[in-house]
Structure 1
Amino acid sequence: MEQLLLMWVICIVILHIGCMLQAGIRGKRTGWRRELLLILILGYACFGAQLTLFRREAGSRGVMYTYLHMGNLFGDWYERQQFFYAFLNVCFFVPWGFLWGLWRWEDKAWRRMIMITGYSFLTTASIEITQLMTGRGFFEVTDIVTNLMGGIMGGILACIVIPFIRYIYRKTTKSVDTVQERHG
């Protein structure tokens, strides 16, 4: 847990320095909402790395499973276990897809979904390849498929939520502008 917290703090500091450098070079500040979203994405990436890579000893695994096995909720113990692993893999990537969906705020929904699918695929493929190369886990095609499904579900959730956020933002911005006009 301490490693995760330390990794997150280091990432936040590096991110903030990067945002300040970008502001100095481009002459345009990164808004606090955008920086907060980047911090959340980095924090979730640190959490994911801790969960999938750093909690296992190097060289302890390193096996490749190329079959697709989702398990069965009504099967024997092994089948139920596989089903729950698949379910948890889907759940693991829903926040990832959601956060990247918010990051792609200005894109049209179809483009946002294509980008989220790409981000999710690259992330899960990187995790699986790293697990195989370092021996810190199993390379499983099932994990790639279920993580990708979770990322897409998170992206769909972001596409549903974004119009509501825009509506609330427009309402609050309009009410602030109206108050300023009355008192200004």
Structure 2
Amino acid sequence: MADGWTDQCRRTLINFLFYCPKGIVFLKSVDTSDASKTGEMLYKLFREVVLFVGQENVVHFVTDNAANYVVVGRLLEQEFRTIFWSPCAAHCINLILSDIGKLDEVNDIVTHASKITEYIYNHCFALNLMRKFTGGREILHPAPTRFATNFIALQSILAQQNALRAMLTSSEWTSSSNAKESKAKEFVKLLFVDSLCSE
């Protein structure tokens, strides 16, 4: 398996891992920051990994599905007839969610939901009260990708909408000084917009 990512120092790294019946093992990490990640360059890098591990020990390569990685997969399959390549399913789903999120109707509702979660998680009073009214359930659940997080948060808001609305009509909220702030009033309007619930 190959996992490309960028670290805090903005270096582009590719981690190589392999899976066997005993579990996943980290093989190595390669800094490719100064290289043009062409299919040919990546193929040489992947080929080194196959030869190091042993062709007889490699059955399947999984990478993301960018065009340069597709080239790598095809070249590996041509040279090593017993190796198969496939794109990472999580990466494919991430790209699908990204595309769906670009649709105007979806972007509007996700933006709406993001404003709700931003307010709650940036205000301790609102966060503690939300946890009380939802029975300790969170509406923001980190996911492996930003796009999945957006959709999971939207689903959580919809699942907890009655509890959130009950929170905003409770005496704890209405009598608090926090509820009188302009941002709090905008937050209340966001939760009582019908379009959030009808989507």
TM over 0.5: no
- TM-score w.r.t. the length of structure 2 is 0.27
Question: Which one has a bigger Cα radius of gyration?
Answer: 2
More helix by share: 1
Relative contact order higher in (CA < 8 Å, ≥ 6 apart)? 1
